[in-house]
Structure 1
Amino acid sequence: MFEPLDPLLHSQLRLAVMSLLMNVEVAEFNYIKEKTNATAGNLSVQVNKLKDAGYIAVEKSYKDNYPLTTCKITETGINAFEAYLNALRSYIKPT
C-alpha cells in the first residue's frame, strides 16, 4: 500500500531546503540559495511556506550592518521529513 506523500515536501525546492537543513545545525539564506540554484524570490516564498508549516525556524538579524537570514529545521520538520522518506519508500518497495 502506498503511503500519502506530504504535498509541502513534494516540491523539488522545498525538499532540497529540508535536505540541506537536515545536515546542518543552521544555514544562511545565501548558502541555501547557492546550494539549490534558486532565485532569491522563489527561495524566499518556499522558505516562508516551510516556516508557516512549522517545519523550519527563520531568524532575521544583521551581520556587519547587512541583513542576515538564517534557517534551522524544527522537530516538527525533522518528523515530517522522516515521514516523507518513509512514505517514499513505500513507492520504491511496494508490498
Structure 2
Amino acid sequence: MLNINNLNKQFESRVRLGIMSVLMVNDWIDFSEMKELLNITDGNLASHSAALEKANYIEIKKEFVGKKPKTSYRVTNAGRQAFEEHLAHLEKLINPK
C-alpha cells in the first residue's frame, strides 16, 4: 500500500535532498564546491549538513590544508541506504504499478 509516511523526514528539505544527491555521485566534496553547486549560504549548508551528520547519513571531515581550514563531506553507508529507500518510496508514489 502506498503511504507518504514511508518518506524519510530527514530528506524533506530541498537543501538536504540536494546535499544527499551530490554526495551519492561524489566520493568527497568540499564545502565551497557543495555551497556553489546548491547555490546556498554558508549557514544553510552548515546547519543542514550538521543535521545529516547527527543522523549518521553523512561524514564531515575538518582539516587544515596549509594554514587554511577545509571541510569535506561524504555519504555514509547508512546514508546511502536511507536515501536509496527514500527514492524508492518516491518512485512508488509517482509510479504505483
TM-score of the superposition, structure 2-length normalised?
0.93
1:26-75 CA-to-partner distances (Å, cap 9, x unmatched) read 00011100000010001100000000000000010011211100101000
Structure with a larger share of its residues in helix: 2
How is 1:23-62 mapped onto 2 (pairs within 5 angstroms)? 23-62=25-64
Which stretches of structure 1, 4 residues or longer, exceed 6 Å deviation after superposition? none
User: Residue 73 of structure 2 aligns with which residue?
Assistant: 71
1:2 and 1:58 mapped to 2: Cα distance? Answer: 34
* Map of 1:2 onto structure 2: 2
Aligned residue pair count:
95
Does the alignment pair 1:20 with 2:51? Answer: no
The 5 Å alignment of 1:75-94 reads: 75-94=77-96
Partners of 2:69 and 2:25 in 1: CA distance: 24
Identity of aligned residues (%): 35
**Per the alignment, in what secondary structure is the counterpart of residue 31 of structure 1?**
helix
What TM-score does the superposition give when structure 1 sets the normalisation length?
Answer: 0.95
Structure 2 spans left out of the alignment, 5+ residues? none
Shift of 1:91: 1.0
5+ residue gaps, structure 1, are: none
* Aligned-residue RMSD, C-alpha: 0.9
